[in-house]
Amino acid sequence: MDLSYILNELGEDRDAYFQAIAPPIVQTSNFAFTTVEAMRQRFQDEMGGYIYSRGLNPTVDILRKKLAALDGAEDALVFNNGAAATFAGVLANVKQGDHIISVDHPYSWTRHLFDRILPRFGVTTTYVDGKDPAKVEAAIRPNTTFIYLESPTSWYLELQDLRAISELARPRGIITLIDNTYATGLYQRPIELGIDIVMQTATKYISGHSDTLGGVLTGTEDMMRRIFLSEYMCVGSGIQPFNAWLLLRGLRTLPARLERIQRTTDTIWKYLRQHPKVESVIYPFDPAYPQYALAKQQMGAAPGLLSFYVTHRRAEEIEAFCDGLKHFKMAVSWGGHESLLIPKLATMPREAFDAENRDHRMIRIYVGLEDADYLIRDLERL
Ligand SMILES: *Cc1c(COP(=O)(O)O)cnc(C)c1O
């Protein structure tokens, strides 16, 4: 299916709404039936049509069709944020006594789910260095039912070989889920590599404008139906129609934004790697990156995020640089129009800063839609 068709036509029934180019926001909680028989039938299959907007909603459905097609999946569910999508995707696939394998350094609230919530129900998690499929295999136990991946991870941008890990999991009946927020369905297609469920934080690139949150799961129709009729309906974390509409708007320009972000990221990487105050840069498309070959093979591009280590020996120097930023905003999240920066130092008390620990001298940036020169003027002050 053409990408242009997916983004401009798929799922849109303009005959039903005055040939409007932008779809309507169907801002309703419930849907009426004209006969008892129609109502009875809907009660028997809540995923077969509209009844109540905690379940399906027409605006959200347009988005579901496009997101499924973007991932090459049979179906998609859209949540109110990425954390909700992960929560539902994991919870639907584990039961008491099960064991999960997760990559090191998962997204912080995913880690909270594994460390704080699931152990209360007898589900345990082992963290492994996902760079090496042999380490994933060695961690598999008889009760392992779920593998959580994030490729690349935030901050460290570590990759996993998705095909190799899916080949370990599939024959053993282990479900795999990947957080694909970094690369998006445009630049990485995990389902084609054998991964079962793809999660994406729509808050980031799909929205693209820092004005809404959203989360996506894609996978088989069976898997999506199972999650919909249980966790999705029960937790009530489906996206609201207006937020879904914002994501539809974001999708229209996704390829154009990512292309530009990719080019600017490349320019910024080249600038940083020759900067005298930068010790090294973590960027998967750097030919010297240890996982460069896998990155090239598995990902179409590496847009937006990169981390680097500065040579400064004092916390005050790093803070002075960050406090003086004119163009990068100091903020969490990413994927919007605006470039962002987080120093690792902000995640710890200043007294804990230890220049010998390289991680303390780490800075993560997100490159947005501004001109590279404009951003580099900020980085010149390093
Ligand atoms: C932001 C983010 C999440 C969480 O998404 P929310 O929409 O904030 O809930 C999960 N994973 C990754 C990699 C993220 O960057």
- Neighbour tally for 11: CB within 10 Å: 17
Q: What angle do CA 286, 67, 100 make, to 5 degrees?
A: 70
Average pLDDT of span 188-192: 98
pTM listed for this prediction: 0.97
Give distance in angstroms: CA of 33 to centre of ligand 1. 38
Q: Do 185 and 211 share a structural domain?
A: yes
Q: How confident is the model at residue 377 (pLDDT cuts 50, 70, 90)?
A: very high
- How distant, in Å, are the alpha carbons of 99, 102, 134, 139, 201 from that of 145? 6, 11, 17, 12, 23
The CA-to-CA distance between both ends of the chain, in Å, stands at: 46
Q: Do 286 and 138 share a structural domain?
A: no
Task: Please tell me what DSSP assigns to residue 132.
Answer: -
Cβ–ligand 1 contact at 335 (below 6 Å):
no
Task: Please tell me what DSSP assigns to residue 320.
Answer: H
Q: Do 155 and 42 share a structural domain?
A: yes
Burial of 7 (0-12, 13-18, 19+ CB in 10 A): middle
Q: pLDDT tens, 342-375? A: 999 999 999 999 999 999 999 999 999 999 999 9
CATH number at residue 172: 3.40.640.10
Give distance in angstroms: CA of 89 to centre of ligand 1. 14
- How distant, in Å, are the alpha carbons of 45, 267, 304, 340 from that of 261? 43, 10, 6, 13
Q: How confident is the model at residue 35 (pLDDT cuts 50, 70, 90)?
A: very high
Cβ–ligand 1 contact at 216 (below 6 Å):
no
Burial of 46 (0-12, 13-18, 19+ CB in 10 A): middle
Q: Do 110 and 23 share a structural domain?
A: yes
Domain boundary (228, 252, 276) is at 252
Give distance in angstroms: CA of 82 to centre of ligand 1. 5
Q: Do 261 and 241 share a structural domain?
A: no
What's the order of all strands across the beta sheet hosting 329-330? 278-282, 305-310, 362-366, 340-343, 329-330
Q: Do 294 and 160 share a structural domain?
A: no
Q: Do 281 and 178 share a structural domain?
A: no
Among 204, 210, 211, 246, the mutation site with the greatest number of ligand 1 atoms within 8 A of its Cβ is 204
Average pLDDT over the chain reads 97
* Nearest partner of 301 among 216, 202, 163, 184, judged by Cα: 184
Quick one: pLDDT at residue 299? 97
| DSSP strand pairing (144-150 vs 175-179) | parallel
Q: Do 214 and 81 share a structural domain?
A: yes
Q: Do 54 and 176 share a structural domain?
A: yes
Q: Which residue owns the Cα nearest ligand 1 atom 3?
A: 82
Q: How confident is the model at residue 333 (pLDDT cuts 50, 70, 90)?
A: very high
Q: Do 268 and 177 share a structural domain?
A: no
Amino acid letter, residue 188: Q
Domain boundary (223, 252, 281) is at 252
Residue ranges making up the domain that contains 289: 254-379
> DSSP 3-state assignment of 28?
coil
The CA distance from 324 to 347, in Å, is: 19
Q: Do 208 and 92 share a structural domain?
A: yes
Tally of domains within the chain = 2
Domain boundary (252, 277, 299) is at 252
Share of residues in the chain with pLDDT > 90 (%): 99
The CA distance from 201 to 188, in Å, is: 14
Give distance in angstroms: CA of 129 to centre of ligand 1. 21
Q: Which residue owns the Cα nearest ligand 1 atom 11?
A: 107
Quick one: pLDDT at residue 262? 97
CATH number at residue 367: 3.90.1150.10
Q: Do 230 and 349 share a structural domain?
A: no
Q: Which residue owns the Cα nearest ligand 1 atom 4?
A: 82
Among 103, 104, 107, the mutation site with the greatest number of ligand 1 atoms within 8 A of its Cβ is 107
- How distant, in Å, are the alpha carbons of 95, 98, 115, 123, 367 from that of 91? 8, 11, 14, 10, 33
Q: How confident is the model at residue 212 (pLDDT cuts 50, 70, 90)?
A: very high
